[in-house]
Structure 1
């Protein structure tokens, strides 16, 4: 390849080697005329109607039907002879196939009004004096199948054929006809001319032409010498010319100029190997219309000598592609590996009259050596310069000239590109490579090399400037690039495969500036290419774009950038945009922002006075904590479905937030609404405040269904009046308060009536001296709170929320200028810190009460009994608190002398009330109690509000001070201890129904002597330790001391102590009935009744039955002795029998006295008194006496020592 290049004369005088092929066969064809055949002979008609006539000796007429096929032994025309095919018209065709061994020598005249196919595998030559004039000539040394011909398929193939086609004559096709030569080698030294038709020269072993458009031509090259050489002329008046071969050499003229009022045609050279234009002329120009299209393509493409490629046109330049299309990126155009343009070669895509310059590309995937001249000028009467690219993907040698000027228009563009570009103050070593009137430096042209350019070179340019570097572009620190020639409509573009550093200053006169890092046009795109701006940039109202093209690189701005009213694009899709070093970015026009994060660092600030568009999700943050963002005016637009998350502070002076996305204010962030102006949210946009929004003045307008979700803190501050409302009454915005709306202003803050305001489990806090007005009723739902010591203007509907005058655990006066309606699920909380220091609710109109009232003593204050607290004042008070938490800790409503006051009085400090408004009588349900919690230890419990049904203690452990009840109670599994008195009404019953149940009454039970009161201990354990006025039915375990005024029946365990192992005295002021299943437990720990041992006094009748278990507590200090006596029962009357069961080693003599049953110890462990009578007791009703013996010996001893002489007594042993 280097040899090919080295033959290039840098001054243009030399020529590249001509790619000539030894046409030996063709030379052999040029024999003396005497040995040539005359007109064609040896015809054999294969298809169609064919007639042969000879009007004279030199003329051979052949009349054929369309699609006729003729086989010939030979097909030649001698000089002075004419062969004429007479057909139906220009659309008719005849196929002539030579079956003999001779080539076709056309030295005379071949004429036809139709299309003539000539197929001769032995070769075809058109001699110097040959004249061919047909409606179309298709000559080939490759065969075509009859069926393909008949069906119009131009498919030629003969892989073994090496015969050639040579033209030295004049060949023309009338109308829109075509001239097609197909052979392994094609050489034109004559003239081929068509009128707006097509010329195709295709060299190869197999060629298919589905149409004469070069993109529809397929050719197969068997060897490099499958070539086309043009030393003559190929002329198509505005038509097309296509040359296809393994290699192409043109030193002649190829022209598709428009000679009529029309645009020029198209010329295509496509070689699989070399395409060489040497001292040749290739033109597709037009004097009246636009220039045409010229594509010169091949694996190696060379324009040598004084080659001219011209696609100029009066109304606009055309297109010239040499070696490839723009940046080699067009898959429809084959790219060269190597392209050479010599010093005297010229490419012209000018507009010569009024129009824009055309488009010229010189490209190679490998290297490009460019030393020629390209002109893409705008028209002299008007029009802009065109576009020129000279590039080599792997290398560029550039020592030529490019002109994209425009006398009466904008200068065009040129692309060149090295690896790195450094722009410096002093002249650069590569200033010459920025030649021309509108130069640029483009991608891939000088891989591995760097360009150094002085600012003066760029400052001298007019129009667009594009600099492309495979790696980096740097504007040197301290350099000032003053592009005063780049005004409105001009664009300056820096494109780098990696980074762009603007260390100096750039200014434009209204032009646009594009900085593109990690640019997709580079050969090797960096995954982290970014842009750093250390200098100042000013476009004077031109657009400014900084784009990292999806890389992970950042855009870092350390100095002022100013586009005036122009558009700024900061696009770091997968990276960050960072303002640093105290930089202020003041947007006056449009700012489009797309990045993962916008970082405002080291006191930097983003100020928007124009249109700020958030394109994708973004975080706005300041890692240094001192950056800020200001919406001074204009619009902040967040794209629909996108989220802009604010993690630092935003100052909102005025303007609009819209776009349909979400502006999320994070928990640590905030927005400050300042200035007396409208702050507008519009267009289905949502502000999701999770931080703090401070409003100190002005208005906040929520328009067109926009939403403000307050999930954080919204605060009214300052002294001014403020308003949140809507300007679109038919489609109002929405303010959703879900957290805290706080009014600290000394002015009036208002929520407009036109706005849709919702309050969801949120808090409204109105400070002392502050006024908050609601245009519509404030509805407090579940979880919502209204609190504070200020004034609320409007109605309040407390459906399920809480109102706290003063606030939580703080006292104050909350004023409502309107009505207050508290529904059954609502709550009013009152804190009392002193006799005059307590919460007050002042309602200017009607207060309607229901639901809960909670009263709490705070700051250590303990209310005195009978102290009054007037905590509600209203014009009219309707209803009453009816829900749980009403009057906790001992308060109750007191009568008042005047209407419009709600007063409570402290009745008993430790009382908790059971609330039955819901019909649920479960003691163990916290919501049934006035404090909203279950009774605590030491509470006085008042359940007197429940007058029907049965209260149920199903579980829990309660140790209370006293109990007041008005309906029956059932303990089905709880543990209840009452230290003080229990007060119950007539016909009250207390029943235990489960083994796990436990009840202990230590104080007086029903001391008021109510009638029909009954205690039913069906199961579990019951302890009665005070004075009990009730009938007691014990079926389980009853431990009792004190007195029971009423009848007692027991079929379970009964003990006079306060518990198992405890001793005590029980007095029954009534009858005591023991059933056969009853068990009396007598604990002995001493010799005194009640204190030393259990004793039961029955002031009525005792009906005995069951067992009497005698238990001695030896650990109590008591030392048993024979003769110790114990009065188990004392009674007025008795009957029945009871079995006495002493512990092992103990024997007691039972003495039945008129008013008592006494046990006397006759044996203790280790001692036995034989003469004691102890086995027979005489009862007035002749009841039997049961003794328990330990063994048969014990029975015998007892019988032996018995001195009982009464025959009506029996001893029953068990």
Structure 2
């Protein structure tokens, strides 16, 4: 054994004593080099005696050894060895008698198997190699089998009748069986399998065009359509390759006792891990390759607890008419970095296979660096072309032929796509692109790209992107993009994030902003829609959401026949915030944080609908639709409780605004644009514009600027803010405002001014229109070289502003023209009459029930009398009007809703009282004080001598 293999023997704890003893002998010079070499040779293939008279026999033939005999039962042939190794340069073949389909080989000794040369079967049987102590495949190891190969460090192979072919307890075996194997039984702490093989392809394996990243160093390989399976403890592919063209490669790492079941299928074997409670580690490093490319991309299945690819690559490309089987990775954590690439691209008529990654805890996909990523994005943005096997691309399905591309599905707890990584399902041919489906609790895309769509020259449609998460973050120059550069449509982007969506930070030097977007660049293509459903949407520091059609060079549309722009539907149950601006981009410019839909072609741009209780734009935040060519700009519809647009910060060059424009888009100006603007529709509780915040219609070409329609409870403009429908040469925009109250402060404006055309119209319907005096807040529909527009205001009250025939430093309402009075527009102000009874509440005629407030013990209608003398007196009758200096204060809440002209019924709520007892008599003490008593005390005489009668006297008294 060479030093490499000695290093790997440490893996088995059972070998430690043997190794320690060997080291001791070497130290004392008791083992010479020739003797050590002899030990290595003799230890290569050592059959044991557990099969009795059916023991295996090794027949040496120089460098080619044959293994014969063994125990045959039906189509199964069993071999048992104490040591099983293949030295470098040696070939070991199992004899394959007629009728034998499966050859089972176990190693019952205490050492791992080192396969350094060629291991094969002289026939078509499947070969199983079972060594619980570990298996190591060296750099020059080869497989020469026409069937499938299964290498495992399980304890035993189980069969359908319950029998086992056991490598750890070979002496207590039942009779061997003719039954088919059903699985691999693992014990505690299964040992590792290591593959370092980079052996060259044998002559009987297919070769591939140089354009494909398929190495001729196939490593361990089986024939096309067959299965290559490694199932053990930890699996390490340290620069080693595995190949099964149009077949399947199955990797499984088991870390606990249990049964891995398998069953034959037309495609090979299917593995079932339901009885495995704990899994181990699988690592592909140093350029290790797993390859099932062929006429139909084969299947790759990886199952472990921690699966990592550090520069490893997995290819399952479809080159012919057979549909690809795809790649399935199932783990607790999955990590890919260092130039890793995973692909199921189809270049033929067969469908490409899907890539499915499921990790219960986390998935990390890391590229080869942000600088390389910026170069990749710049190339792709400039040319529209993509090289499918660019080292920047980590995960790609896609189609370059007529076959449909496979989908990419990632399902995990935390998903991080970082450091210049790229995922894509592009359409480069006639086939349709695949979908990208990402599901995670937390999904973070940083300085990386997730891209679906069509490439120039292709004819297939692009795939969709679907994201389901609690929190989605797209940041630091990342892009989540669906694009079409052909006549076909790109896919939609659908995002559901129960907590939040954040699009953050465009760093200095980035070629494009951080954004989520769909684009149609090709002729007659259609950009996909974007649908976002979340609690909170935050767009800041130059991030954005973009829907566009066409492109520009300089100040001119590049493709005037490009297709339709997509539409945006945004639902945020709590809030939407758009704020701030980017760093300095690679071209020296900066960009505001944005939600935009731009048309650079003859086709209409997309529209957007936003539903949220609170929408806030500040420090340069922008929501806009625009047209730079002949296609009309889309509309913007916003529904919510509160919309607040707060202007620029002290260090910011952008004003916050909601805008529809013609002839200007994303900083590019085209004064020859002939498109019309869309409508800006707001249905909100409060609309607040502060510190220069604006609602803006802008037309630099000959088209109509569009309309602003606002229905609100209250509209407030403060400190140079505006609702603005101005145009340079096209028809002025129209502004329609309907609100309970409208407030203008500190130089704010409502304007539809025009340059060389007629001013737009302003219609205001409100209860109160208030402009704080002497603050120069104006309502204007003026024109420079055209007729003034029309202003119509209907209100219950207008305070602080008035119609004037010219602008003044005060608050003005004007519709003038610089061409003269005859070109002035019209101003119509209608002050509604106020109904003084509106809102009054009719009071009840009876406020209290007085019947139980006093005692009527002495009826007044019986001729009796009651006289009180002394201090005090008789209180007022509660059923008569009050006299005196009582002052009434109106404390009614007139905002309450009451039926008109209907008296409010009074419902008494009696307060419990102590029962009043009628006085029956009184007594006079020696000081003359009179005290009423409840019981009569007999006849008394007053000092006057008058007789006093009791209240109990009869009616004739």
TM-score (norm 1): 0.36
TM-score, with structure 2 as normaliser: 0.44
Compare the two structures and name the one with the higher strand fraction: 1
Highest RCO, 1 vs 2 (Cα 8 Å, sep ≥ 6): 2
Question: Between Structure 1 and Structure 2, whose CA radius of gyration is higher?
Answer: 1
